Structure 1
Amino acid sequence: MSTNSSLAAAAARFLTAGQGIRPLELGGQRFLHPGPLRWLRALGWAVALFFLVAFAALPTAEVLGHWLPAVGPAQFAASLGGALAALAIYALAVWLAEGRWPSEIALKPLTPELAVGLLIGTAMFAAVMGIMAGFGLYEIRSLGAAPVWTAAGRAVQSGVVEEIMIRAILLRLVWRAFGPWIAFAVSAALFGFGHIANPNATVFAAICIALEAGIMLGAFYALTGRIWVSIGVHAAWNFTQGYLFGAAVSGGDFGPALASSTARPGFAEWLTGGAFGPEASLPALVVCTAVGVAVMVLAWRAGHFRKAAA
């Protein structure tokens, strides 16, 4: 075995915590059976499933948040309830309409792969802030102890719900319709420009989100064949950004934090991210895109783009 193959195998073992990688299961039965206009059926199912999950998860979290006590742990439980509702309705809908149990949310790899994703997401954002601080682009001040529940709830909900909607639904079903490259382009673009209405958003910020998260999180899914690493990276990135460092998360306030991180005045917004936060910065773009490309190469070398299409 060559050195490159050995490194790729070791990286894959780490990313899946020994669970093994597999090509995406795109779906090929019932509503997605081979035959005329499968591409159109796949797109129609993508739209229907996208809104089905959204209308299950977000109202569930809203209702639970209204009825549960207005205290930290209870509100975290409301966010967790919304995330679990998204997973449940996705699993049920795929089972009914596609005739399969969705291997992309298989339960056995959940804990180890989620843990790996959390580790990667935390390390990546810490690296971005280390670069920012090292070059004097950001001021980071400790604020002391802060309740964790708000940030944890938002991280869980955004990580689970957005990854199901963007990766498990849009990326997978557009891949079913038109192949991997159009699927990556469409899902990344929709994810990036879906943030354009956020506070302090700019076109550059949307492009950064598309390239950083859209490509990288899709790459983890394409390599492992499951969504757990992507969920872990997404949730940990947001949590580390908003709670541990107290920086703006996609232009918004993530709640109480352990620190406060703000861009120093006098630097261009494309270097610091400005009021939108570090996600719209050059260091984040470089770090996340590098990770995304590396994982895409691993998925390519494993043959997952060809096997999933077949």
Structure 2
Amino acid sequence: MAIRTWGVPAALGEARVLHPGPLRWLRALGWMVALLFAITIPAGLAITGLDSLLPEGGPSYVISNSVGALLCLLLYGLLVWGGEARRPDELGWRALPVDLVAGLLIGLLMFAAVMGLMSVFGLYDIAWKGPASAWEAAGASIQSGVMEEVLIRGVVLRLLWRAFGPWAAFAISAVLFGAGHLGNPNASVFAALCIAVEAGIMLGAFYALTGRLWVSIGVHAAWNFTQGYLFGAAVSGTDFGPAVAVSTARPGFADYLTGGPFGPEASLPALIVGTLVGVGVLVMAWKAGRFDRRPAATDAASG
């Protein structure tokens, strides 16, 4: 019973552009593409514009990325309200404090577990350096946590779910999420597969369980911040700036064990931790009845 009361079923959209009827799946896909452009371009321009106006370094990283994240949330809410004739309950503000804190703690503990496994099995050396500026890592974590979750889980996963049902939506959105990292420095097909499974499925599972985006946002942001700032490791092949530690893979181990230059996310320990959590949360969502709804394609055929 406790599982059922944590969150609500995901609102997939039932009206206006997503009203039941012929070709609902196609309308859902078109709406998905429209939302991606309508949110990404203004939010990206806002961040770029502020970065060019504000002095480089320090709080500027957090200010520009926070403005971009807030604009992303605002645009998503307004577009859902206008295009789907509903309140965007996936951004329910009353649930924000508890969900976000829960997500942040889960993300921190998950990545700490990854590095704990790395250390226990002698795959990584972790050297603590002491206090360091957190502005750059915080800004990057806010941007990736908020914007990627709104776009990938709130737009892509939700509307694929509306079009084809949950399982196809989870598979396709996870593959797209992993493939989106192929352009990162030192990326590989194995790294993309790791991201797809350990993060794409897991972050989507929290959205399915709660019907809201805040836990996924918190997990994503805390995972990246813990990885880049607390442990000083590469985050999906990128540098998150100053850190309180430096974590380096020990030579002599295969990249699939350590993640190589892409960072720990492309490692077997991260794949194990992320997959176990993702499958566990999916089972909770299943037991809570979050996947009981008929697929949209069936609705469209009957309409």
Global fold match (TM > 0.5): yes
Which segment drifts farther, 72-81 or 181-190?
A: 72-81
Cα deviation for residue 61 of structure 1 reads: 1.1
2:92 aligned to which of 106, 113, 118: 106
Amino acid at match of 1:76: V
Structure 2 CA distance for aligned equivalents of residues 261 and 27 of structure 1 = 44
Q: Is residue 165–residue 294 contact of structure 2 (8 Å, CA) maintained in 1?
A: no
Tell me the CA shift for residue 152 of structure 1. Answer: 0.2
Q: Which runs of 4+ in 1 moved over 4 A?
A: none
Aligned match of 2:76: 90
Q: Give 5+ residue unaligned stretches, structure 1.
A: 14-18
1:107-162 per-residue CA deviation (whole Å, 9 max, x = no partner) reads 11111100000000000000100110111100111122110100000000000000
**Can you list the C-alpha shifts for 1:151-178, whole angstroms capped at 9, x where unaligned?**
0000000000000110000000000000
Distance 2:76 2:250 in 1: 43
Indicate whether 1:157 and 2:140 are aligned: no
Q: C-alpha offsets along residues 243-282 of structure 1, whole Å, 9 cap, x if unaligned? A: 0000000011111111100100000110000000000000
> Counterpart in 2 of 1:39?
25
**Aligned-pair CA distance for 1:41:** 0.2
1:51 aligns with 2:37: yes
Specify the SS of the correspondent of 1:58: helix
CA shift, 1:62, in A, is 1.1
Aligned to 1:187: 173
Q: Shift of the alpha carbon at 1:186?
A: 0.7
> Unaligned regions of 5+ residues in structure 2, if any?
297-303
Deviations 1:179-200 (A, max 9, x none): 0011001100000011011101
Count, aligned residues: 296
SS in 2 for 1:140: strand
Aligned partners of 1:69 and 1:75 also within 8 Å: no
2:56 is aligned to 70
Contact 1:23 1:308 in 2 (8 A): no
Structure 2 residue 17 is the aligned partner of structure 1 residue 22: no
Say whether the 8 Å CA contact 2:233–2:263 is kept in structure 1. yes
Q: 2:57–2:136: 8 Å Cα contact kept in structure 1?
A: no
CA–CA distance in structure 1, aligned partners of residues 295 and 138 of structure 2: 36
- Asked if the contact 2:99/2:214 (under 8 Å) is kept, the reply is yes
Is residue 131–residue 244 contact of structure 2 (8 Å, CA) maintained in 1? yes
Report the Cα distance in structure 2 between the residues aligned to 1:242 and 1:74, rounded to whole angstroms: 18
Task: Note if contact 1:122-1:233 (Cα within 8 Å) is conserved in structure 2.
Answer: yes
CA offset digits 1:190-236 (Å, max 9, x no partner) = 00011011101110000000000000000000000000000000000
How far, CA to CA, are the matches of 1:101 and 1:57 in structure 2? 21
In structure 2, what is the Cα distance between the partners aligned to 1:97 and 1:198?
33
- Answer yes or no: is the 8 Å Cα contact 1:25–1:308 preserved in 2: no
Q: How much has 1:308 moved relative to structure 2?
A: 7.3
Partner of 2:187: 201
RMSD between aligned residues = 1.3
CA distance in 2, matches of 1:308, 1:231: 27
If asked which structure has higher relative contact order (CA below 8 Å, sep 6+), I would say: 2
**Aligned residue in 1 for 2:208:** 222
Take 2:69 and 2:32, find their aligned partners in 1: how far apart are those partners?
19
| Shift, 1:288, TM fit | 0.5
Alignment of 1:227-246 (within 5 A): 227-246=213-232
Deviation at 1:70, TM superposition (A): 2.2
User: Within 2, Cα distance between the matches of 1:37 and 1:154?
Assistant: 39
Equivalent-residue separation in structure 2 for 1:122 and 1:46 (angstroms): 31
- For 1:141, what is the secondary structure of its paired residue? strand
1:249 aligns with 2:243: no
TM-score (norm 1): 0.93
Q: Percent identity?
A: 63
Structure 1 residue 309: Cα displacement: 4.6
Q: Counterpart of 2:132?
A: 146
